[in-house]
Amino acid sequence: MRFLVMVKGNKDYEAGAMPTEQELTEMGKFNDELVKAGVMLAGEGLQPSAKGARISYAGSKRTVRDGPFTEAKELVAGFWIWQVKSRAEALEWAKRIPFKEGDVEIRQIFESEDFGAEFTPELRKQEEQHRAAIAKNKQRTGR
């Protein structure tokens, strides 16, 4: 099972405050544990919403709104993608995140088998091709 773990923002994050050396050190140690356990697939911090945009869709119309956005506590400040055996395991890891305050949200990521018959063999093949191309691009570009 894969889970997206979203770190919620706050006013300091939205104001551009950077983590302290101690906070970065603690997070680095936690990430080391995740990597050694084979749990962490990805993890990144995000720039404040002032550097972002939102796109709204209504039929064929697209509306772009530049940040910053209100309600900092509802914004995502960073994320991990974890591979674990269960929701309970994801929660146990999340309880160990070295935050003094704040919130994270954990959401299970859909897997191919979750879509049932609507996810036809042709669509499954297309998905596999996408994943293979992404892996090849990573090797080629180093990103």
Residue 34 has a pLDDT of: 98
Q: Are 36 and 121 in contact (CB under 8 A)?
A: no
Residues 51 and 98: their CA atoms lie apart, in Å, by 26
32 and 76 assigned to the same domain? yes
User: What is each CA distance from 111 to 3, 58, 100, 108, in whole angstroms?
Assistant: 11, 28, 33, 9
Flag whether pLDDT at 70 surpasses 90. Answer: no
Residue 135 and residue 99 share a domain? no
* Cβ(41)–Cβ(81) below 8 Å: yes
Is pLDDT of 73 > 80? no
Please count the structural domains in the chain.
2
Report the 10 Å Cβ neighbour count for 9: 22
120 and 96 within one domain: no
Q: Classify each residue of 12-45 as buried b or exposed e, where b means 16 or more C-beta atoms within 10 Å of its C-beta.
A: ebbeeeeeeeeeeebbeebeeebeeeebbeebee
User: Which DSSP letter does residue 67 get?
Assistant: S
- Report the alpha-carbon distance of residue 97 to residue 92 in Å, rounded: 9
Q: Are residues 19 and 70 in the same domain?
A: yes
Q: Are residues 103 and 120 in the same domain?
A: no
* pLDDT average, residue stretch 88-113: 95
pLDDT > 80? residue 24: yes
Residues 49 and 77 in one domain: yes
Q: Are residues 88 and 33 in the same domain?
A: yes
Range of the domain at 88: 2-109
Question: Are residue 96 and residue 28 in the same domain, yes or no?
Answer: yes
Q: 97 and 46 in one domain? A: yes
**101 and 130, same structural domain?**
no
Res. 113 pLDDT band, cuts 50 70 90: confident
Q: Are residues 35 and 57 in the same domain?
A: yes
